[in-house]
Structure 1
Amino acid sequence: MGDNNGLPLFVSKSAKGRILFQLYAILIFVGVCFIFLYRLSHIPRREEAGRWAWIGLFLSELWFSFYWFLTTFVRLNPIDRYTFKDRISLRYEKFLPSIDIFVCTADPTIEPPAMVINTVLSVMAYDYPPEKLSVYLSDDGGSVLTFYAMLEASRFSKIWLPFCKKFKVEPRSPEAYFRTAVEPLGEPAMAKEWTSVKIETTTKLGRISEEIYHEHKGFKEWTWLASKRDHQTILQILIDGRDPNAVDIEGQPLPTLVYLAREKRPQYHHNFKAGAMNALLRVSSKISNGPIILNVDCDMYSNNSESVRDVICFFMDEEEGHKVGFVQFPQTFENLTKNDVYSSSLNVINEAELPGLDGNGGPCYIGSGCFHRREILCGQKYSKKCKVDWKRLNNREVEESVSVLEETCKVLASCTYEENTQWGKEMGLKYGCPVEDVITGLAIQCRGWRSIYFNPERKGFLGVAPTTLLQSLVQHKRWSEGDFQIFASRYSPFVMGYKKIPLKLQLSYCYFLLWAANCLATLYYVVVPSLCLLRGISLFPEISNSWVLPFAFVIFVHRAYSLGEFVFFGGTLQGWWNDQRMWLYKRMTSYFFGFLDNILRLLGFSKSAFVITAKVTDDDVSQRYKQEIMEFGTSSPMFTILATLALLNTFCFIGGMVRVIVDVEILVWERFTLQILLCGLLVFINLPVYQGLFLRKDNGSMPTSVTCQSIMSAILACAISLY
């Protein structure tokens, strides 16, 4: 026992494969140097056609090389973390800290109540003393249907929690368990008890029956609710963990369960998810005041009942725990297709980039699946005095009754509470940015705290990935816009983090913050070489020239390593190809609009907005998603750009091939081989777009208006380049 007390609760190890990656990086660097040497020594003379196109291409390649350097720098020192949960049980089982869990939802039509309570029940069922768990739902939609679902969840938890602990089921989301279990354990009646069916039926009706209305006093709050954007604070403690009668069917205590719909008024800005989180911070401080806070999105249920114990190992470690401000889990998804048609898995980011960020000083906060110390969200700076004696830390006992707590806490979630305070600035999550999570995590690190990335073999959380192309592109537009907004503001890691976080962490942040800026070089490379091919202007060395070798070498080694890495992290060959396609589509659309919106915002023409990604789709859309058929189906400027560029490259490819066939005697093929291959590759990667434009007849095909606009735009661009 004495030996155990001196052992660490977690260890950090360098990730495997570093030598291979370093060799790859050296080879690419050498190849890129030769490409630059070629570009600088072969710049066309002033009177030659294509001089500016050449220079523009060189500048694009400079940007790609710079961004490759950032990516390589992030990946140089990845580390993996391993915990020892058995040691935490032996040392601290009687002194485990309380955990407050925040679940956020905003719209019952986009985020169905049945899905929300699956997440709620999954975190209520953690393998952790239930009296030390408190679960809070922030409902920014102010929906009576969501409140009803929470009421049903509070009842079902009395059966579900003992069932989970008795049979050690995983995952502990009822819907996920009953869907994936070959033969559900225990009584067959358990599945019949699951209230999801009743909740979904009520949700489809869109109203609460008179019978249900009288089941709980909380329903009366909706009598005075004008709309979801104009209502008073609604706060209901559905399960009071202090109540000796709040027990499950086996007499064991239940976690505290609280429903909150903060006050909304049209004349007040509610600051989206950051505002909801800050309201939960204040309300929970009066009800349970757990020193550790977990926040999850409503679609990301707990997939690992031991995640809390894993995290406690980091916070309670005797040597390093007092330095840890937050522990971030990866975002993973359960509804991915076999070949991940929209490249939503984030496997490479989760398995390579975030461990590298951890090795360079700590991962960023990515908004869900993150455990924080309460005090760091309240603005506390790190010092050696922050070391906690967990055995002497007593959880504050609240003496007020439920009714008194409900009334006194309502003011904490009012519209006016934050006026003339530091909330949203120095306290809580920061306001004014679409990615409030990243900027909040950066501010925490600048106050001296260490962050940890933890990626266990059994994933901690599983969410819902976008199931249409537009959902995916809009989501990445919001991310890239918010990230670039941080980079171009006083919150840039080079400004806010100056002398506060290591330079290597400042550079590592730029890998994400400069996503949007990639659009310019990518669009140039997609458009200009193809138009120059149409005009007969060569931008690459002849195929018989030895200078072609650096280009061929870099392309082959870079893509071969990318493919090997993707497959190593669990992907497929087709999945890698889909990833390359989405890499291109995001840069041409999501990042472009994210970059453009930032420019317009700086000029005063637009403001930041928060877009919720839909978690539900129609049955026919879901069916096409399962079949990995790319979904278009609606008019969007993003689709117009994709279709226009796809058609433009088709016309240029045809024009280039005609030139090769007609002028075969003067060896046009040799001069334009790389340009023809590049243009042909762009045509091939856009096959789903051509199918959507001309071949498909289902509702997911490209709208006629987009097809006509794209054809005219592509023809016009080709005509202008020729004349």
Structure 2
Amino acid sequence: MAYDYPTEKLAIYLSDDAGSDFTFYALIEASNFAKHWLPFCTKFMVEPRSPEAYFSLHSALHHRSQEWTHMKKLFDEMKERVSSVVEMGKVPKEIRDQYKGFSEWDNGLTKQNHQSIVKIIIDGKNHDDVDIDGCVLPKLVYMAREKRPQHPHHFKAGAMNALIRVSSEISNAPFILNLDCDMYSNNPDTMKECLCFFLDGKSSHDIAFVQFPQYFNNITKNMIYGIPDQVINEIELAGMGGYVAALYCGTGCFHRREALNGKKYVEDLNGSVHLDVQTKKKVSKPVNELEEACKLLVDCKFENGSQWGKEMGLIYGCAVEDIITGLAIQCRGWRSVYYNPKKKAFLGVAPFSLGAALVQYKRWSEGMFQVFLSKYCPFIYGHGKIKFGAQMGYCVYLLWAPLSIPMLYYATIPALCLLQGIPLFPKVTSVWAIPFAYVFVTKNCWSIIEAISCGYTLKAWWNLQRMLLFRRTTAFFFSFIDTVIKQLGFSQTKFAVTAKVAAEDESKRYEQEIIEFGSSDIMCTMIATLAILNLFGLLLGIKNVAAWNLELVSKGLNKFILQTVVCGLIVLINLPTYEALFIRRDKGRLPFSALFKSVTLALLACVIYII
């Protein structure tokens, strides 16, 4: 709402799939606070304009004034009122009586079973819809689409499509910003910058969306979980943008409404543009009529027999609805832009624990592999529609899941063969060892150069290598298995939500860059098992090789030096894992059950392989 942009041209929509009266109440409180906050931002050129982010900055302390103190007090009081209502467990009667919208919750709703709710909190036409300076506030709309247990709701894609329809009825703006609830705008001029791409008369007519990279405000210096991957943000995704086929990443993206609605972009030989559907003009209606009309657009049966989720809006049936939707839009003739300004446009919240980070990557890799195996495979669906380089760029990410197979091989077989004294690589003195050494050294040197050029520290690069190992041997592997099972028809797509809220002690360990294991789930157990297996392989393998070649130790080690390097690097990269297994006593350590299972599984693998 506080963008540096004409407020009468802004409309903000909040989608609350849970249909919570607490969220509705919090939005009302936020709208009242905005009457004070927006003039404050304009007067003092406040940045960032998210009050939570602004007041948490140390720099804000240097600008304390009577206005600053008053605004901070208003913000704290607003948060306190919302928190007290949540702790109370219900919205008080005096508040419910004050706002007619609370009548929607009179029948008792649940997250998965509630009717359509659309409430225009700020319309911009009433005398109360102004700030304390008398300026019109942006439109503000609360929406909870109907959800019933017997009807599929299509997760985030369904919520986005419902928002598209509701916004088309109320404001019908030509451009849409799609932003996740855990992100905020870090630059009040982002709207103006983005419109430069859409409104450039010479080369903007075929731009469907402008994608900004994902960055986070809670990142530690050395990026303990490898998030964000700066190399992906600054090199790989920028390369995709060079093919005018930037990936749609699901948040921080400005869309052209007509492209998102399924229209095709066609340009004839004379350079004239033709769109297959004509834009519908919005007819002004009273607020009550608008709300009732919008409810019909977001009930469970509205999409039945329509093209929503197929040719219109975000595409259904995939956990990464953003990637598949962006590809479909590009294949309809539109271009997309990747824009990474020096001043970050949006900031979000990165996962605080290893488990949350892995769950996020599991969902992404599983959804992307589903795309590769579907009719939307870029080499098939995009053939002749987008450039071959863009098709290959898509597949760099769509093939994350099967990448787990070679990584698992290198994380298990060298260690097991070292135990048996079976060499896998040429002798280090052999000319045939040169290709192996060349690939290893060149790949890692280039990786370090890329990382440092993108602002990484060496420790951050090392943390990223650890996370690549963890992701590929757990999240990617299990997503590969789950995708194969789904392709065989034995299960259906599920949407796993990533936890972004941390306990106080967990948050403290995150700031100290201590990995938060704290679980004995299958992925953490897998990490611990591979760590123990390689430790066995390194220690016992070297001992056995030396014993078997007692008289010719140097010749024996000559055969196994490359193999030993592989195991040694995996052991080094897993030092935090051993610490979590054997040394740490905080809640973020790996529990004894994980230690027992990992040692048992590692020993079992050794016994089976040796036998």
1:399 match: secondary structure: coil
| Distance in 2 of aligned mates of 1:491 and 1:708 | 44
1:214 matched to 2:97: yes
Aligned amino acid, residue 17 of structure 2: D
2:23 maps to which of 138, 146, 149: 146
Contact 1:361/1:504 (8 A) holds in 2: no
Counterpart of 2:257 in structure 1 is 374
In structure 2, what is the equivalent of residue 183 of structure 1?
Answer: 62
- In structure 1, distance between residues paired with 2:390 and 2:467: 27
Q: Do structure 1's residue 326 and structure 2's residue 326 form an aligned pair? A: no
The answer to whether 1:710 aligns with 2:598 is yes
More off after superposition, 584-593 vs 691-700? 691-700
Is the alpha carbon distance of 1:388 and 1:286 closer, same or farther for their aligned partners in structure 2, counting shifts above 3 Å? farther
Assess if the C-alpha contact under 8 Å between 1:293 and 1:373 holds in 2.
yes
Distance 1:677 1:664, change over 3 A: farther
Separation (CA, whole Å) in 2 of partners of 1:408 and 1:185:
47
* Mapped pair 1:201 → 2:87: no
3-state SS in 1 of match to 2:551: helix
Q: Are positions 1:618 and 2:503 aligned together?
A: yes
1:308 and 2:188 aligned: no
In the alignment, which residue of structure 2 is the partner of 1:523? 408
Distance in 2 (CA, whole Å) between partners of 1:135 and 1:421 is: 26
Whichever residue aligns with residue 559 of structure 2, its letter is: R
Q: CA deviation at 1:549?
A: 2.8
RCO comparison, higher one (Cα < 8 Å, 6+): 1
Letter in 2 for 1:211: E
Local SS of the residue matching 1:322: coil
Aligned mates of 1:618, 1:330 — CA distance in 2: 27
2:47 — aligned with what?
A: 170
**Runs of 4+ with >6 A deviation:** 385-389
Query: 1:167·1:185 contact (CA, 8 Å) conserved in 2?
Result: no
In structure 1, distance between residues paired with 2:96 and 2:200: 48
Contact between 1:494 and 1:506, CA under 8 Å: does it hold in 2? yes
| Pairing 1:665–2:548 present | no
Q: Which runs of 5+ in 1 are unaligned?
A: 1-123
Give secondary structure in 1 for the equivalent of 2:178.
Answer: strand
The question of 1:719 aligning with 2:604 is answered no
SS at match of 1:528: helix
Are residues 1:251 and 2:137 paired?
no
Q: Is the 8 A contact 1:329 1:460 kept in 2?
A: yes
**For residues 657 and 681 of structure 1, what CA distance do their matches in structure 2 show?**
15
Partners in 1 of 2:196 and 2:109 — Cα distance? 46
1:432-460: per-residue Cα shift (whole Å, max 9, x none)? 00000000000000000000000001011
Aligned to 1:116: none
Partner of 2:171: 288
Is contact 1:240-1:256 (8 Å) kept? yes
- Relative to structure 1, the CA distance from residue 292 to residue 323 in structure 2 (aligned partners, 3 Å threshold; closer, same or farther) is same
Code of the aligned partner of 2:337? I
Deviation of 1:395 after TM superposition, in Å, equals 11
Match in the other structure for 1:595:
480
**1:143 and 1:228 in contact (8 A); partners too:** yes
Contact 1:516 1:587 in 2 (8 A): yes
Contact 2:24 2:142 in 1 (8 A): yes
Once the two structures are TM-superposed, the CA of residue 692 in structure 1 deviates from its matched residue by 1.3
CA distance in 2, matches of 1:290, 1:225: 34
Cα distance change of structure 1 residues 387 and 340 upon mapping to structure 2, 3 Å threshold: farther
Counterpart Cα distance in 2 of 1:458 and 1:497: 33
Deviations 1:241-274 (CA, angstroms, capped at 9, x unpaired): 2335421111111100000011111110111111
CA distance 1:167–1:224, change in 2 (3 Å):
same
TM-score, normalised on structure 1?
0.80
Aligned length, in residue pairs? 597
Deviation at 1:360, TM superposition (A): 2.2
Give the drift of 1:554: 2.3
Q: CA deviation at 1:169?
A: 1.2
C-alpha contact 2:421 2:545 (8 A) present in aligned 1: no
Matched-pair contact (CA < 8 Å) for 1:333–1:463: yes
Deviation at 1:552, TM superposition (A): 2.3
354-363 vs 251-260, greater mean Cα deviation: 354-363
Out of 331, 346, 367, the residue aligned to residue 461 of structure 1 is 346
- Partners of 2:50 and 2:534 lie apart in 1 by 47
Instruction: Give the structure 2 partner of residue 410 of structure 1.
Output: 295
What CA RMSD, in Å, does the superposition of the two structures yield over aligned residues? Answer: 1.8
Equivalence for 2:432: 547
In the alignment, residue 32 of structure 2 is paired with which amino acid? R
2:396 match: 511
Task: Tell me the CA shift for residue 545 of structure 1.
Answer: 2.2
Tell me, yes or no, if structure 1 residue 160 matches structure 2 residue 32: no
CA–CA distance in structure 2, aligned partners of residues 283 and 175 of structure 1: 28
Q: 1:398 to 1:387 in 2, by over 3 A?
A: farther
Per the TM alignment, residue 397 of structure 1 is displaced from its structure 2 partner at its CA by 5.9
Q: CA deviation at 1:625?
A: 1.1
Conservation of the 8 A alpha-carbon contact between 1:466 and 1:472 = yes
Q: Distance in 2 between matches of 1:477 and 1:424?
A: 23
Closer, same or farther: CA 405–184 of 1 in aligned 2, 3 Å? farther
- Provide the rounded CA distance (Å) in 2 between the counterparts of 1:158 and 1:615: 29
**Stretches of structure 2 lacking an aligned partner (at least 5 in a row):** none
Cα distance in 1, alignment partners of residues 573 and 175 from structure 2:
47
Give % identity. 52
1:655 paired residue among 507, 518, 540 = 540
Of 219, 222, 235, which residue of structure 2 is paired with 1:339?
Answer: 222
**Residue deviations 1:484-528, cap 9 Å, x none?**
000001111112112111111111110110011100010011111
SS of residue matched to 1:203: helix
Which position in structure 1 is the counterpart of 2:571?
Answer: 683
SS in 1 for 2:265: coil
Residue matched to 2:158 = 275
